[in-house]
Amino acid sequence: MPDTGEVSGTVEEAWSEALGKGSSGEEDFFTLGGTSLSAVELMTRVESRLGIDFPVELLFSSRALSEIVDECERRHRDLLSRRGPTT
């Protein structure tokens, strides 16, 4: 599982794969050509790579990459804190 510093890159990579292009960080997922299918692809990739819950509602409430990264980082920190320290 990536550490907290790698979450941003992981989400950005999944975003680019789902859309077929990157983003400046403030552009809307659906304005960039995102569809319901690509939204599910993004959700599935983020969940499998980070081990966090990524409900599709998150994409509708936080459409910009920067907002999604922020929320995924928060969820990832929460997950790590629940698991406790690793040795």
Amino acid at 75: R
Q: Take residue 86 and report the two structure tokens written for it.
A: 């690793």
pTM of the predicted model as reported, rounded to 2 decimal places: 0.84
pLDDT of 54-84, one tens digit each?
A: 998 898 888 899 999 999 999 999 998 987 7
pLDDT above 70 as % of the chain: 91
Complete domains list, the chain, with CATH: 4-83 (1.10.1200.10)
**Whole-number Å distance between alpha carbons of 42 and 12:** 10
